Structure 1
């Protein structure tokens, strides 16, 4: 099977990580996989380093030109982002290829429902990464298969851990952390208020905010200053090799208002870190059945209480970690995810043969 994965994002977040992981798994299964991605983007660099054929137009005009000239070479055109699906929908009559779209967000469709439904309907197969991500397509009358995102353990880099511990003076401290961009849907200000509440209860911890900047960065930094948290709330920025850093964490926290799934939480599961998080979107699915402490969206008091409980209760920590690790190994294995996609691809090709 010849498969073209398509992702035009500049940075490196969950969707780009999943795109590359899928490509690796498809290649391991014996398929011919290429990538259409933005010139100079993080995904482009990483896929090239992995030895994949990467086509890297500089802009949308170049992207569309590539598809019109070369799109028919591939059996499957897989849009990994909503923007990519927009261009595929517009070009579909000229391409004559099977199109797959993965929806990785759970945002409600508040405007342009008709246009969005038309775009999604242009995909021959629409995949959502969680029931939460599937809810809007289904509400608009479309079929949506659910294939959860996957994760894969990375070898430990002890030198990285040692250097990071020294850089941020973590020795002897309990480490709580989040991995989230400073954007509105991640709701960093609620998290900061929760840490402020926790500070009223204890002082034996440091909180690391791992992740790129965004639209709420100025507000978040100002709130940390206003609440006097500069000594314990550390904006550590985007970190490569973040898998290593989970080994330092006592608790992982996520305060999202919208979350289709939450692969950072799955990483915490894999590396045996107990999780306290909101019940936004797909988080409610993965944290169910005792796999974490769930809190209402926007409830900083509940987040603070959850963090304190997990730090204090060894039995609770052990139970959460055991339930979560069993679940993630069973339901979010990379080869299982790839197998589900390949089965969808094959059904699509068989249906159109």
Structure 2
């Protein structure tokens, strides 16, 4: 029997520290283990994770009977610079003291700097995965972050890079990353066994939901501004914004200024973050993503995989996933257009339902986490084999 690949997956944040990038990395870690790999997740023991064990073996059902997933939460500190230094030191120690066939790193930041150095010293390939593009993306961070230039120079030495979108691919090439080492692999999500179903009596008080970080690039102010317009057609319509982030207080103030009641069951609700995304979406009648900037949205993929009708802003990252009137509806990212398309989805709900089933089918065929994990393993195996071949 061939020994399983020993993969180290590094991400400073990992569930239960939840964001889109963390969710997809968690999905991928489990899928790689189910496919037979020996996966060690290396992350920081901070915030909510402080109460969790330093080493946790996660039970996964795998097809070959030999894969496993172990999460290692490395000691760090809540102090900004001290915490970064401790995490980098402990990540370096782990990577240089454990057998590793390949390291896969989320984001082009401090984890990547450490992993590329360890891979060079220990002889294993390192693959880096930028998690976004634009002003909040990894390449932009390297331009403005502390030691960003030095980290970027080290990152360019990695064996390969995974681009989850065309925007990420283009930014990498523009920033001097070797094009031949950039591999386009999409995000992937689990496919729920049971599809979303419409709620009885939904039309009396239709419910729209956003899931994600409450950050400026998500354009949630425009969605709240759209809500009084939506309620002209559906006076009892509710909007739930699931997540946390720096815009929370401003969003609450905005809703109050518009006279929108806040709280559970009210016009607008901000219940905080949750790891029960699937269950929450089943209580809604529409998923809305009004972003002005996206790479490949995990929240949008999850909604499509569940089969709930969607409205998304008509930006390149969302158009990569949603064809208008086929998988859902696209709207310009401004209040009037968002409101008009939301009302249109609810006014033609049978059509919206059929589009939601087409969206679910598309994700099953192109973006299931099992298929994406297989593509990653093929890339990893080729890099490992290439590393073993002596240079002529």
- For 1:70 and 1:49, the matched residues in 2 are separated by 17
Q: Which among 72, 94, 100 is matched to residue 74 of structure 1?
A: 100
Whether 2:260 is the aligned partner of 1:229: answer yes
Aligned residue number for residue 107 of structure 1? 134
Aligned residue number for residue 162 of structure 1? none
Q: How far has the Cα of 1:267 moved from its partner?
A: 1.6
In structure 2, do the counterparts of structure 1 residues 99 and 173 end up closer, same or farther at CA, with 3 Å as the change threshold?
A: same
Q: Secondary structure at the match of 1:122?
A: coil
Whether 2:352 is the aligned partner of 1:349: answer no
Whether 2:57 is the aligned partner of 1:57: answer no
Aligned residue number for residue 147 of structure 1? 185
- For 2:133 and 2:354, the matched residues in 1 are separated by 29
Q: Secondary structure at the match of 1:53?
A: strand
In structure 2, do the counterparts of structure 1 residues 54 and 195 end up closer, same or farther at CA, with 3 Å as the change threshold?
A: same
- Scaled by the length of structure 2, the TM-score of the pair is 0.79
Moved over 3 A (4+): 40-47, 60-70, 89-96, 108-117, 153-156
The more displaced of 182-191 and 133-142 is 133-142
Q: How far has the Cα of 1:141 moved from its partner?
A: 4.2
Conservation of the 8 A alpha-carbon contact between 1:117 and 1:140:
no
Aligned residue number for residue 182 of structure 1? 214
The more displaced of 274-283 and 90-99 is 90-99
Q: How far has the Cα of 1:201 moved from its partner?
A: 2.8
- For 1:107 and 1:119, the matched residues in 2 are separated by 21
Q: How far has the Cα of 1:263 moved from its partner?
A: 1.3
- Scaled by the length of structure 1, the TM-score of the pair is 0.87
Whether 2:292 is the aligned partner of 1:257: answer yes
What CA deviation, in whole Å up to 9, does each residue of 1:48-70 have, x standing for no partner? 36253332222233433344434
Q: How far has the Cα of 1:115 moved from its partner?
A: 5.3
What CA deviation, in whole Å up to 9, does each residue of 1:126-150 have, x standing for no partner? 0022222222112234322121111
Aligned residue number for residue 161 of structure 1? none
The more displaced of 92-101 and 21-30 is 92-101
Aligned residue number for residue 4 of structure 1? 8
Q: Secondary structure at the match of 1:82?
A: coil
What does residue range 119-134 of structure 1 map to in structure 2 within 5 Å?
119-134=154-169
Aligned residue number for residue 331 of structure 2? 295
Whether 2:223 is the aligned partner of 1:191: answer yes
Q: How far has the Cα of 1:104 moved from its partner?
A: 1.5
What does residue range 5-44 of structure 1 map to in structure 2 within 5 Å?
5-9=9-13, 11-40=17-46
Number of matched residues? 341
Conservation of the 8 A alpha-carbon contact between 2:95 and 2:115:
no
What is the alpha-carbon root mean square deviation over aligned residues? 2.8
The more displaced of 200-209 and 340-349 is 200-209
Conservation of the 8 A alpha-carbon contact between 1:37 and 1:57:
yes
Q: How far has the Cα of 1:92 moved from its partner?
A: 5.1
Q: How far has the Cα of 1:318 moved from its partner?
A: 3.1
- For 2:75 and 2:124, the matched residues in 1 are separated by 23
Q: Secondary structure at the match of 2:209?
A: strand
In structure 2, do the counterparts of structure 1 residues 134 and 53 end up closer, same or farther at CA, with 3 Å as the change threshold?
A: same
Conservation of the 8 A alpha-carbon contact between 2:310 and 2:328:
yes
Aligned residue number for residue 219 of structure 1? 250
Q: Secondary structure at the match of 2:311?
A: strand
Gaps of 5+ in 1: 157-164
Whether 2:365 is the aligned partner of 1:330: answer yes
